[in-house]
Every structure is written in C-alpha cells, then in structure tokens.
C-alpha cells in the first residue's frame, strides 16, 4: 500500500452550468460510492460551489469540494475576487493555486501565487500548487529549471509544518487541453525532479510524504500507466473530468495503483 494516498482532482474550469454540473457531481458521487483508496475532489466554478456542496453532502460522499482559485486578502475593495473565508463558508476544502491558465492566460506571477498558497495553507485547507513548463521551455530543455523555480518561489516562507496539506500538480502547459500527454517516463522524470526540489527545501522525509500529481490530457486509457510510476501519485483532470464515467475510471485507476505500490 502506497505511503501517499492517491489524489485525483476534477478541474471543471469554466465549464458546466447549474444543471449539468449537478448531474456531473451526482454521477461522480454514485460512481465512487464503493471506491476507497483514493482522495477525489471536484473543482467546480465559483457560482456552483454551494449547489455541488449540497449534492456531495446529501449523498454522504467522501468526494471533496475544491475551488479553482482564491485571493490572498480576507475582505475589502477587491472587485471580482473571492477570499478564502468566503470559500470556507461555502464548504471548500481544497484550492488550486497557480494553474497554468491563471499563469499564462491571466498573467499571474510566482509572487502572487506564493501569497495565494500561503493563504490557503495558513487557513488550514489543502493547497494544490500547479507547475509546468511551456512547449518552448521544454524544447529548450529548461523544464526542470522552470518547475524548480515555480516550486521554490511558490513555497517561499511556507514552513514544513504546513506541508502535509500541500499537493503539487505537474501540468506541462503543452499537454493541457491539446490531446498530447507526456509519456509516463517523461512525467515520472519531472515528478522525480520536483520531489528532489521538495527534498532540498524540506528534507527527504517530508518530501516523501507530498503527493505530486500529473495533469495534461489525462484520459482513462493512459491513467494506469501514469499512476504506476513511482513518483506519480494521482492526477489533475480537465476535459475528462466533465464526463462522470471517465473521471470515475481515472479515480479507480489511481486507487488500484496506490494499492499495488
């Protein structure tokens, strides 16, 4: 049995509506009812958090509720932003920070991402720090430098005592929404590099406890091979998480891999 419980997140991004999101959540809950050995979470758009929370609660599901982003201030004149306190009020348990679309479409920088991650971890929730190189960076052979920098700056001033609530998602930008996945070996190499960086920051013992998950065009047919890699502890799923059957299949693959590690 793996020391690290596999984690699979469904990042719905800016998709679904109240009806389709509710149907999706019901499908995920029903599909995972008898599945153990995996921590599963869904990350719906902000306006549907309460609706999805009540579906998860009504059915007594262990599926966690996540948010796709957060602002680092508690309250005040920050039009359009959503604080951690508001999210906790809506039942959020986990928060994505530094997703590649926030970095590359919305222009977020490492320093802002660090403030957000500190807010989440200091606030007692699980923070999923997303890192990953662009295609140009990979072609230049810079993937390890880029991921190391994103991990180091993302975790600045975060003490080891909070690290049990950290998940790192390796999501190569060129693999997100493109149908191109990293090979299991390339992904494993990147995860091993990230774990060494975590080890330099927090020591080998703590680094060995941190879950590092893969994201980027992850589909059920590739999941088992991906999760069989020693440093791949689950996945962050975009497109395939919009189909309950596919998401459940990926969660089951993670649970099975965790049991045989």
List residues binding ligand 13P (CB under 6 A): 11, 99, 171, 176-177, 215-218, 236-240
Select which of 39, 99, 101, 133 is catalytic: 99
Say if residues 19 and 74 touch (Cβ distance below 8 Å): no
> CB-wise, 88 or 219, nearer to ligand 13P?
219
> CB-wise, 135 or 204, nearer to ligand 13P?
135
Q: Which of 159, 134, 156, 157 is nearest to 145 (CA)?
A: 134
Is 3 an active-site residue? no
Smallest gap from residue 237 Cβ to ligand 13P (A): 5
Smallest gap from residue 193 Cβ to ligand 13P (A): 20
Q: Which of 91, 20, 3, 60 is nearest to 241 (CA)?
A: 20
According to DSSP, the β-strands at 234-237 and 39-43 are unpaired
> CB-wise, 48 or 202, nearer to ligand 13P?
48
Collapsed DSSP state (helix, strand, coil) of residue 16: coil
The burial class, CB within 10 Å (0-12 / 13-18 / 19+), for 254 is buried
Q: Which of 11, 99, 90 is nearest to 49 (CA)?
A: 90
> CB-wise, 28 or 202, nearer to ligand 13P?
28
Smallest gap from residue 14 Cβ to ligand 13P (A): 12
Is 171 an active-site residue? yes
* 199 DSSP β-pair partners: none
Select which of 39, 108, 137, 171 is catalytic: 171
Smallest gap from residue 169 Cβ to ligand 13P (A): 7
- If one counts every other C-beta atom within 10 angstroms of the C-beta of residue 208, the result is 14
Q: Catalytic positions, please?
A: 99, 171
């Amino acid at each position: 049995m793996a020391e690290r419980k596999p984690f699979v997140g469904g990042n719905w991004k800016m998709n679904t509506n109240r009806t389709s999101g509710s149907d999706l959540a019901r499908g995920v809950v029903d599909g995972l009812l008898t599945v153990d050995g995996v921590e599963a979470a869904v990350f719906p758009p902000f306006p549907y958090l309460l609706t999805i929370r009540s579906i998860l609660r009504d059915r007594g599901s262990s599926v966690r509720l996540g948010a796709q982003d957060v602002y680092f201030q508690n309250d005040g004149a920050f039009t359009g932003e959503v604080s951690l306190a508001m999210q906790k009020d809506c039942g959020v348990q986990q928060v994505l920070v530094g997703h590649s679309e926030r970095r590359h479409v919305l222009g977020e920088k490492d320093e802002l991402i660090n403030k957000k991650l500190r807010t989440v971890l200091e606030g007692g929730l699980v923070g999923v720090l997303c890192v990953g190189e662009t295609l140009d960076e990979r072609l230049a052979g810079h993937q390890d430098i880029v991921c190391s920098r994103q991990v180091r700056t993302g975790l600045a001033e975060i003490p080891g005592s909070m690290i049990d609530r950290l998940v790192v998602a390796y999501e190569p930008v060129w693999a997100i929404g493109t149908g191109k996945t990293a090979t299991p070996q390339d992904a494993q190499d990147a995860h091993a590099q990230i774990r060494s960086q975590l080890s330099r920051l927090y020591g080998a013992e703590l680094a060995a406890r941190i879950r590092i998950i893969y994201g980027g065009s992850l589909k059920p047919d590739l999941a088992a091979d991906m999760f069989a890699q020693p440093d791949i502890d689950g996945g962050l799923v975009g497109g395939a998480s919009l189909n309950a059957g596919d998401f459940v299949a990926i969660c089951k693959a993670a649970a099975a891999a965790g049991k045989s590690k």
